[in-house]
Amino acid sequence: MSRSVLVIGGNRGIGLAVANQLAAGGDRVAVTSRGGDGPDQFLCVPCDVTDPAQIDAAFDTVEAEHGPVEVLVVNAGITRDRLLLRMSEEDFTATLETNLIGAFRAAKRAARGMLRLRRGRLVFISSAVALAGEAGQSNYAASKAGLIGFARSLARELGSRGITVNVVAPGLTETDMTSALPAERHEAIIAQVPLGRIAQPNEIAAAVRFVASPEAAYITGAVIPVDGGVAMGH
Ligand code: NDP
**For 60-92, how does the pLDDT look when each residue is reduced to its tens digit (9 = 90+)?**
999 999 999 999 999 999 999 999 999 999 999
CA nearest neighbour of 207 among 73, 26, 10: 73
In the reported structure, the alpha carbon of residue 177 is separated from the centroid of ligand 1 by a whole-number distance in angstroms of 7
Residue located nearest, by CA, to atom 1 of ligand 1 = 177
* Domain assignments of the chain as residue spans, ordered by start: 4-224
- Dump pLDDT digits (tens) for 2-40: 999 999 999 999 999 999 999 999 999 999 999 999 999
Catalytic annotation present for 140: yes
The stretch 174-189 carries a mean pLDDT of: 90
What local confidence, expressed as pLDDT, does residue 6 receive? 98
pTM for this structure?
0.98
**Which residue among the candidates 66, 140, 163, 167 is catalytic per the annotation?**
140
What local confidence, expressed as pLDDT, does residue 139 receive? 98
Return the CATH fold of 4-224.
Answer: Rossmann fold (3.40.50)
Residue located nearest, by CA, to atom 46 of ligand 1 = 33
What local confidence, expressed as pLDDT, does residue 181 receive? 87
Query: Has residue 1 got a pLDDT over 80?
Result: no
Q: Which atom of ligand 1 is nearest to the CA of 129?
A: 43
Interface confidence, given as ipTM, is 0.99
Ligand 1-lining residues (CB < 6 angstroms):
9, 11-15, 33-35, 47-50, 75-78, 98, 102, 125, 127, 170, 172-173, 175-178
